[in-house]
Copies of this chain bind each other. A is one copy, B any other.
């Protein structure tokens, strides 16, 4: 009998698993069920679509159901998974159009249901023009609202808010960002978060307002039930044309409650390095799984498109009978605010202290090319290392210069526990248009090493 693989979820990991599995195994039957009406798209590109750097939202679609059909993969749109019966090897599916409910059996199940926005419990949250951003339709709705709007409010100071801030500022809106913590971008140390805040405020003076330590207590609307004002804990009333909720996401795993599939941090699905769940015949991949952090050696939950891609690929190889280990992550993230790069890898100084490391750090601000070259940019790096082991725990990078190149150099060194004394003499290629003779990241390592070595 033909082996039957059922995949639940159509964002990134699901379609990736399907496509890779088909390349590895032409013989298996592959069916993918998704509650959405579109699959295999880059959600990470949505802020740039809203900004208008991308005109056609269809360019964000990587593969269509028709593309999959050519590969003999059946995509079932608007079909929502309600329940998994691990004993019977079946899933219960609801057809969101006809409302029919039916059972599908599997030999291997892949859960790739991703993450869903957390809706904060705020009075007036059901008013019109309060958006979350996850699907292409969300992106289209926000873009339509933005065009013609004058004011926007962003709730939450994470990456998506920074990216949407760029989009709205670029489109000449007046924007207020409201963050309940004492800093935006809470993965960064306070000093770097402050630098980023200063850059954002300084780039378009008067156009952006960032409120920290401020909670939204209510939204008030007009007679058309459209949001009109955001009311905060300190009594501020902020007029706005629309609101974006960037208040976080959670694993889309509620439908697994009551099953014997083991859950992990934040109710993400526990997977081993082969992406197998606690059930031998069930894999999981992407934003719904837990993640092993290679710096802290602890499990965490970190939903990211790049991880979803790699996990989907890896799960497919293992399902196909091959061997692929997804060893873990470094919590690596990057974004930009116009020409200013914002990136962090590993853990920050505060986390390092909390986790019981003996951290030391260096901050360097250097030009990204030889100083005499035209068009140099500045990079500011904060490199954090452990005094006991001389290994790198993390790096934060910001600036209008080439930050990414420096950040990437550190990544294999973190997972390999490369000692600072080796790292600081790394043979990075040098030429005046690409770096100073001693690259800023090596310079940072030299300084941390000197601080540690006294």
A positions within 8 Å CB-CB of B: 12, 42, 44-45, 48, 53-54, 59-60, 294, 304-310, 313-314, 322, 324-336, 341, 343, 345, 370-374, 402, 404-413, 415-416, 418, 421-423, 425-435, 437-439, 442, 446, 453
Query: In the docked arrangement, what's the CA distance between A437 and B428, Å?
Result: 25
Residue pair B411, A428 in contact (C-beta under 8 Å): yes
A437, B343: Cβ atoms closer than 8 Å: no
- In the assembled complex, the Cα of A442 lies from the Cα of B430 at a distance in Å of 23
| Choice from B59, B309, B324, B370 contacting A438 with Cβ under 8 Å | B309
Q: A45-B373, A328-B427, A329-B427 are in contact. List 8 more A-B contacts (CB 8 A).
A: A44-B437, A59-B372, A305-B437, A308-B437, A324-B425, A325-B425, A333-B431, A343-B429
Pairwise interchain contact B409-A411, C-beta atoms closer than 8 A: yes
Asked whether B405 lies within 8 Å of A415 as measured between CB atoms, the reply is no
Which of B54, B328, B427, B431 makes the CB contact (< 8 A) with A336? Answer: B431
Q: A67 vs B444: C-alpha distance in the bound complex, in angstroms?
A: 24
Which residues does chain B contribute within 8 Å of A314, judged by CB atoms?
A: 425
A314 to B310, CA, bound (A): 40
Q: Give chain B residues whose Cβ lies under 8 Å from the Cβ of A341.
A: 434
Q: Is the CB of B370 within 8 A of A437?
A: no
Out of B53, B372, B408, which one reaches A373, CB within 8 Å?
A: B53
16 contacts between A and B (CB under 8 A): A44-B430, A59-B372, A308-B437, A309-B438, A322-B453, A332-B427, A334-B429, A336-B431, A336-B434, A341-B434, A343-B429, A345-B427, A402-B405, A405-B408, A411-B412, A416-B418
How far does the alpha carbon of A334 sit from the alpha carbon of B437 in the complex, in Å?
Answer: 12
Structural contact, B306 and A438, CB atoms closer than 8 A: yes
Please determine whether B373 and A333 come into contact, CB atoms closer than 8 angstroms.
Answer: no
Set B42, B411, B429: member contacting A404, Cβ < 8 A: B429
A146 to B224, CA, bound (A): 73
Inter-chain contacts of A437 with B (CB < 8 A): 12, 42, 44, 305-306, 308-309
Chain B residues, Cβ within 8 Å of A306:
427-430, 437-439
* A411-B431 contact, Cβ under 8 Å, with A54-B372, A309-B437, A438-B309: no
Residues of B within 8 A of A53 (CB): 373-374
Q: Find out whether the CB atom of A404 lies under 8 angstroms from the CB atom of B309.
A: no
Residues of B with C-beta under 8 A to A418:
412, 415-416
A315 CB, nearest partner CB in chain B, Å: 12
Contact of A48 among B373, B410, B439 (CB under 8 A): B373
The reply to whether A372 and B325 contact each other, CB–CB distance below 8 Å, is no
Q: Which residue of B lies closest to A57 (CB)?
A: B372
Contact at B428–A48, with CB atoms within 8 Å? Answer: no
Candidates B307, B334, B412, B434; contact of A334 at CB < 8 Å = B434
Closest to A47 in B: B432
**Minimum distance in angstroms from A163 CB to a CB of chain B:** 8
A327-B422 in contact (CB<8A): yes
Q: Find out whether the CB atom of A334 lies under 8 angstroms from the CB atom of B408.
A: no
Q: Which residue of B lies closest to A293 (CB)?
A: B427
Do A438 and B334 touch (CB < 8 A)?
Answer: no
Task: Determine if B434 and A54 form an interchain contact, defined as CB atoms under 8 angstroms apart.
Answer: no
A12 to B412, CA, bound (A): 30
CB-based contact B429/A407 at 8 Å = yes
Pick from A332, A412, A413 the residue with the most CB of B within 10 Å: A412
A345 CB contact (under 8 Å) in B402, B429, B439: B429
A8 to chain B, nearest CB (A): 21
A13 to B44, CA, bound (A): 46
